[in-house]
Amino acid sequence: MKKYAYSSMFAQNIEGLIKEKKALGYKYEAEAAALKRFDDFCIKFQGDTNKLSKELVYAWNERQPHETQGNMNGRISIVRQLGKYMANLGYDAYVFPTRMHPKDAKYIPYIYSDEELIKFFKQVDACFYISFAPTRHLVMPVLFRMLYGCGLRVSEALMLKVKDVNLETGVLSIYNAKFDNDRLVPMHEELTKHCKAYFKEVHVFSDNERYFFPSANDNPFTITNIYRNFRRFLWKARISHGGRGKGPRVHDFRHTFAVHCLRRRVLEGKDLMVYLPVLKTYLGHNSFSDTSRYLRLTADLFPNITAKMTTEYGRLIPEIKGDKYDPY
């Protein structure tokens, strides 16, 4: 974790809050970086900084140009935590009320059709060599197959190291994922074959600590880089994109994986009461409710199986208020 030097009058309290959060098991790395920005803001603030005042907090809370509602709410929440921490210690600190700012509307997951997946992967496979990104044409076909074929979060795939990809058993080892979960993810044999061919091209002389999907400087590809390639593949596949916040997104391959798995199990006559806990573990969900939401997506998208799902699993399908939700 990067160490930050805090120098405002709140430095001691900021460091105390970070220490407390980490002692409770939170990583608190992004929050520490945000608190550094708040620390710098306090030093430059022209008003009274002798205490964590309402004036200071409201100045910090002001929305920045091009900032999303979600990012702004995140900034506000972190300083609110600092205020609560200081107030509990007896300081005169203003604690910003909860739910004062509206949340961003939840994104409706985009589920790729079978036809769209065929067109998309045709363009991914046509990715060509470029000198400033010499592994790109090898990485993209395997990476995107892994995102869809295993339902991984893009960060999970990008952080894989050679030692985490067992080509003998066809099992991925995912470490330090969301909610600090570790898990084993078996791959389909076809995906394992792709990984083996890719390994021979990229990793013949690699040690176990090298990233499985290395960029030109041997760091992992950035999420921004993956997104740019993704948008180009979408365009070439003639899959329309609604613009920022509208999708499709890279993360929707994970949603599509889950929905397609449930669709297949229903059509095969499998018992979803047995299968849902398996899917929950496979996806690395923290709660059963996250996984059960895919039942609603599956039923809504495939009318031919809606009656069967509603009859047999109606009590498992969550009620969704409104039409915007985003299961992870």
Query: What is the CATH architecture assignment of 105-328?
Result: Orthogonal Bundle (1.10)
**Does the model's pTM come out above 0.85?**
no
In this structure, how many other beta carbons lie within 10 angstroms of the beta carbon of residue 11? Answer: 15
Per-residue pLDDT tens for 75-105? 899 999 999 999 999 999 999 987 666 555 5
pLDDT given for residue 50 in this prediction: 79
In order along the chain (328 residues), what is the average pLDDT of each group of 10 residues? Answer: 86 93 81 92 82 92 80 88 93 84 68 95 96 94 97 93 96 84 93 97 94 92 91 96 81 92 84 83 82 72 57 49 44
pLDDT given for residue 317 in this prediction: 46
Domain ranges within the chain, ordered by starting residue: 11-88, 105-328
pLDDT given for residue 245 in this prediction: 66
pLDDT given for residue 311 in this prediction: 55
